[in-house]
Amino acid sequence: MRKIVFILFLMLLSSEIRSQGYTANLDFFVGTWIYTNEVTNEEFTLKLRKSVYINPLDKYQDEEACLVGVYTYKVNGIIVTNTMDEFGSDIHALKMPVIATNFVRDISKLNSQKLWLMFNDRKYNKYTLSSSLEIVSVSPAKIHWVLTEDEGEEVYSPGETIKPSGFSVPVNMILTKVSE
């Protein structure tokens, strides 16, 4: 009996202990959100749903809970960018226009009010990983959308089109939930 217990103990020591991942409050963010600015005549619609993805930088390669989304941006009633047709698609989460999560391995670092946001600007053909969505109020449901340029220099090959600075959508908005 001692041999069996000792062997089990050695097996436990030799195996890598995997930490669990945590997310919180993703359900609050699921739904359709709208920002309107009557002065500039802009309208931005964001639609989010739950999904999972495998983070290529995570050593465990586990599925991580996230939100994926699409957006439409209009100025003076004219559509500038529309990705809504991708909402029901089977596109891998990392290829969606919007990905948001607060996934962490250390529960003490979990922020249930704020999500990390990856935004794929389809018009400018560029990504940002340094952005966020944060709860402003629960009733009425409002979130703060902040897009931030990633730091660092872009390196371009000869003949490659230089990407414009900034984004093709507003970078700082308060969106209101209009449907689940």
CA distance 135 to 27: 12
CA distance 107 to 163: 38
CA angle 118, 121, 127 (to 5 degrees): 45
Place of tokens 């249930």: 112
Looking at residue 65, what is its pLDDT?
Answer: 87
pLDDT tens digits for range 110-153: 888 999 999 999 998 888 888 999 999 999 999 999 999 887 66
Looking at residue 154, what is its pLDDT?
Answer: 64
Looking at residue 8, what is its pLDDT?
Answer: 35
* Domain range summary for the chain, segments of one domain joined by +: 22-179
Give every residue of the chain whose pLDDT is below 70, as ranges: 1-19, 56-61, 152-157, 162
Looking at residue 130, what is its pLDDT?
Answer: 86
Looking at residue 147, what is its pLDDT?
Answer: 94
Cβ atoms 113, 135 nearer than 8 A: yes
Looking at residue 40, what is its pLDDT?
Answer: 95
